[in-house]
Chain A
Amino acid sequence: MFELRNVTKSYLTPKGRRYVFRNLSLAIPPGKNIGLIGRNGAGKSTLMRLLGGADVPDSGTIATDRSISWPVGLTGGFQGSMTGRDNIKFVCRVYGATGEAMREKVRYVQEFAEIGDWIDEPIKTYSSGMRSRVAFGLSMAFDFDYYLIDEVMSVGDAQFKRKCADVFKEKLQTSNVVLVSHSMPEIKKLCDVVLLVRDGGIQVYDDVAEGIKAYNS
């Protein structure tokens, strides 16, 4: 579960301070797959970074008793000048997988992302599809209670999407997902709760269909 208490988050821009959330309090029930929906720039990714601990609120607390993955997104998470293999090894070391465990994870990602010998090329030479395949595969190589997935699944081709759906189905037996997506069918299929991020506030919809309706209206 997640509990947000009086969370305020702002960013400094050249034009001054911009608030993404002000005094936000909410509790997300445990054991649910969470969909984050909202317009571009509403703060979905910020919320996800906050949940994952990659960013900290200006004030307030975010409490959870679960292990949470890093935000798996289209951008970031990789050092562009290093090769795919080095990036994977780097993340393995950060998460404490060394030796045989690391080699196994590298093999898994290589095979899952279908990048073949591109794994030894710098990440910055990858196409966005390849990057997102590696990013998604890398997060799937680790076991977390919550996976934070930021639109990665929507860019792949049909075959890759099917593969994602399969591995996801397996993971979701034991884990949960926080999913940012603009694809409503995907939200409908995977999520039990929808958080609609709008105008610096968040509405929780236990009924997914209702949340999607509120988003579309």
Chain B
Amino acid sequence: MGAVWMLIEPICHLLIFSVLFALLRARSVSGVEYPVFVLVGMAPFLLYRNTALRLMDSLRENRSLFGYKQIKPLDTYVARVIVETCIAATVYAILVFGFAWYGFDMTVHRPLEWVATLLLGLLFSFSLGMLLALITHALSSLKTIIRMAFFPLYFISGVLIPASYLPPAMMPLLLLNPFLHILELIRAQVLPNYTPVDGVSETYVISFTVVLLFLSLGTYRARRMHLISTKNG
């Protein structure tokens, strides 16, 4: 059942928004079919969201394994990222083959840069997830709020619409969100005719990731004793 849900979740998202979009506007965005446009951005976003959120639970889920002194909390974080990535890659592959079979053009315009951006995004969400996990380990009541915060993030990160459809007046503020940058970059690398909005930059994402990674690893270093103590969190 869990395995089926992995496939159903993105398909549901895709279907609902494809139908909505078809009712509201034209069926294509920057020269590609709308479902293709959404899938290209949504699949990585769901992976990043799951990575960031699931890290909050990985300590609790693997608590019993800390009895083996070789196993550190960081291992459980890394393991979770690997699991999520494998699941997401499988689901994405299945959907891409499905789409191609249906007749959509699923070629990736600039594959190497695409893979690099995907990995960068993964590193970003790993850093984010680890920081969130460390914060919620200290303050577990924040978990619900963080989960809820990812819902609006879905809309302001340009998962469903190109960032150029978002209100231009809000752009400076919206561009603070690294997910928006990552998704715009990914789309530009997959779709040949897609122009990302002004201000999207790889450098911003890279520097944001480096700072965040430094922060989360530093916090981890400071908190690692508390994380293993069974009676805490």
Q: Which residues of A contact B (CB under 8 A)?
A: 11-13, 49, 52-56, 58, 70-71, 73, 75-80, 91, 94-95
Secondary structure dominating the interface of A: loop
Whether B62 and A70, one on each chain, are in contact in the complex, defined by CB atoms closer than 8 angstroms, is no
Whether B64 and A56, one on each chain, are in contact in the complex, defined by CB atoms closer than 8 angstroms, is no
CB A12 to nearest CB in B, in angstroms, measures 5
Whether A94 and B67, one on each chain, are in contact in the complex, defined by CB atoms closer than 8 angstroms, is no
CB B143 to nearest CB in A, in angstroms, measures 16
Whether A11 and B69, one on each chain, are in contact in the complex, defined by CB atoms closer than 8 angstroms, is no
Q: Tell yes or no: B203 within 8 A of A by CB.
A: no
Please pick, from A12, A56, A70, A80, the residue contacting B68 in the complex, using a CB distance under 8 A. Answer: A70
Whether A78 and B64, one on each chain, are in contact in the complex, defined by CB atoms closer than 8 angstroms, is yes
Whether A94 and B71, one on each chain, are in contact in the complex, defined by CB atoms closer than 8 angstroms, is yes
A54 to B231, CA, bound (A): 13
**Residues of the A chain whose Cβ atoms lie less than 8 Å from the Cβ of B70:** 94-95
Whether A58 and B225, one on each chain, are in contact in the complex, defined by CB atoms closer than 8 angstroms, is yes
Whether B67 and A73, one on each chain, are in contact in the complex, defined by CB atoms closer than 8 angstroms, is yes
A90 to B64, CA, bound (A): 13
User: Looking across the interface, which residue of chain A has its beta carbon closest to that of B63?
Assistant: A76
Q: Tell yes or no: B230 within 8 A of A by CB.
A: yes
Whether B64 and A76, one on each chain, are in contact in the complex, defined by CB atoms closer than 8 angstroms, is yes
Interchain residue pairs A-B with the least CB separation, the first 10: A53-B69, A76-B64, A11-B231, A70-B68, A12-B232, A54-B67, A77-B67, A76-B67, A70-B67, A54-B69
Q: Tell yes or no: B65 within 8 A of A by CB.
A: yes
Please pick, from B62, B71, B228, the residue contacting A55 in the complex, using a CB distance under 8 A. Answer: B228
Whether A91 and B229, one on each chain, are in contact in the complex, defined by CB atoms closer than 8 angstroms, is no
Q: Which residues of B contact A (CB under 8 A)?
A: 62-71, 225-226, 228-232
CB A190 to nearest CB in B, in angstroms, measures 22
**Residues of the A chain whose Cβ atoms lie less than 8 Å from the Cβ of B230:** 49, 55
A54 to B66, CA, bound (A): 6
A70-B69 contact, Cβ under 8 Å, with A55-B229, A56-B225: yes
**Residues of the A chain whose Cβ atoms lie less than 8 Å from the Cβ of B63:** 76
**Residues of the A chain whose Cβ atoms lie less than 8 Å from the Cβ of B66:** 54
Whether B71 and A79, one on each chain, are in contact in the complex, defined by CB atoms closer than 8 angstroms, is no
**Residues of the A chain whose Cβ atoms lie less than 8 Å from the Cβ of B229:** 11-12, 55
Please pick, from B68, B225, B226, B232, the residue contacting A54 in the complex, using a CB distance under 8 A. Answer: B68
CB B70 to nearest CB in A, in angstroms, measures 5
